[in-house]
A and B are shown apart, each in its own frame.
Chain A
Amino acid sequence: MKEEIKYELSELGSSLAGQRVVMPYSAPDGYFDGLSGRLNSCIADEFEQDNGLGLSKELPYRAPEGYFDALPGRILEKAGRSKQRGFAITFRQLRWAAAAVLVVAIGLGAVNLMQEGNATMTKDGLLANVGDKEIREYLVSIYHAPAKGATGSAYLEGIDVDTRDIVAYLDETGWNLD
């Protein structure tokens, strides 16, 4: 037994670790000598012989006299006919298809126009319903909101800025509208 297998068994606390590996079965004498020969004949039976029934593979049916000689010509003739018919049908179908495409395009265009109109109306309608007071409150809430990023920034730490400084800065830059 390989050391690796023995070690694994002893790690698992198995008594097999300390025993010799013995296979108690036995194969009949000469079994392995004849196996490949038997297999080859088995395979020959399966793949190389006839259908295994010992009967002729010839079918009792017969094809009409000259059938196979005329067959290629008949197939070509049929193929040519179906090709011509195929073109006529395709041309007629093409006209119908063009008409159908036109109808669908007009329909889609109309639907699209109606949707755009609705969208504009909806936007305008909504704005019309909002009063001046609400708009003013909204704007005040935006412009008077504390700028968290700036006031909380470490960049401003240690800089002494008061209202007068800010008014002076706005005067300088032309942003003071008072």
Chain B
Amino acid sequence: MEGNSDRLSDQELISSFRDEVSRPEAFTKLVKKYQERLYWHIRRMVVSHEDTDDVLQNVFIKVWKNLDGFRAESNLYTWLYRIATNETLSWIETRKRFASVSMDGNEDYFENKLQAQRDFDPGKIEWKLQQAIARLPEKQRIVFNLRYYDEMPYDDMSQVLDTSEGALKASYHHAVKKVEEFLVGS
């Protein structure tokens, strides 16, 4: 997914970030480089823009705090996706706990958020697909989104989710089957 030139500039960004003087500029460049990919990764999970914005800001604040300690054992982009995924799952977990207290179902929450989106049209296949994805368990949703939308190779996904490639393939296959069932049935 990432070419050599991208990886090289990631290394430059990291070393520039480690210098106190160039840190703010390096961070701005890093945000600009990855903001859209991470935004859409989070948005597909939490649906609303406002929630995505909250999670994304937390992600980048964590990046600021921890980039100094980042060791180039993995790609920067898989590390960023990992932070974004964990932050998104934490947000969903908090939301679930709130839902169990308020008796408001988690599935309904995302369904309502979906229907509140501008241009929502349940007759259109792209919205049906989003409805199908919203019904998947969180881990399957992440795997489906990373594979289908981000076209992420399984070995990178394995680093992001700390799961074996075999388990990820199985998870993706299950997700695709469930999505297909929903699309055919609706």
Contact = CB atoms under 8 A, between A and B. Distances in A.
A35 to B, nearest CB: 5
Interface stretch (B11-19, B74-82, B102-110, B145-153): B145-153
Nearest to A43: B64
B71 interface: no
Contacts of A173: none
B148 A19 contact: no
Contact of B179 (A1, A16, A38): A16
B183 A5 contact: no
Given A9-B176, A12-B176, A22-B126, A39 B57 contact: yes
A32 interface: yes
A138 B124 CA distance: 95
A21 B149 contact: yes
Interface residues of A, number: 32
Contacts of B24: 40
B162 interface: no
B35 A5 contact: no
Interface in B124-146: 124-127, 129-130
A1 B151 CA distance: 8
Contacts of A60: none
A2 B151 contact: yes
B86 to A, nearest CB: 18
A128 interface: no
A25 B31 CA distance: 21
Contacts of A16: 129, 148, 176, 179-180, 183
A46 interface: yes
Contact of B177 (A12, A24, A31): A12
Interface string B82-123: 000000000000000000000000000000000001111000
B167 interface: no
A34 to B, nearest CB: 10
Interface in A8-30: 8-9, 12-16, 19, 21-28
Contacts of A38: 57
B35 A35 contact: yes
A119 interface: no
Contacts of A21: 148-149
A42 interface: yes
A36 B31 contact: yes
A2 B151 CA distance: 7
B170 to A, nearest CB: 12
A9 to B, nearest CB: 7
A36 B28 contact: yes
A25 B117 contact: yes
Given A5-B148, A13-B180, A24-B127, A46 B35 contact: no
Contacts of B44: 23, 25
B72 to A, nearest CB: 23
B26 to A, nearest CB: 11
B149 A23 contact: yes
27 contacts: A2-B151, A4-B151, A5-B147, A9-B176, A14-B176, A14-B177, A15-B183, A16-B129, A16-B148, A16-B176, A16-B183, A22-B126, A23-B40, A23-B44, A24-B127, A25-B117, A25-B130, A31-B49, A32-B32, A35-B35, A36-B28, A38-B57, A39-B31, A39-B60, A39-B64, A40-B27, A42-B61
Q: Which 3 A-B pairs have the closest CB atoms?
A: A36-B31, A22-B126, A24-B126
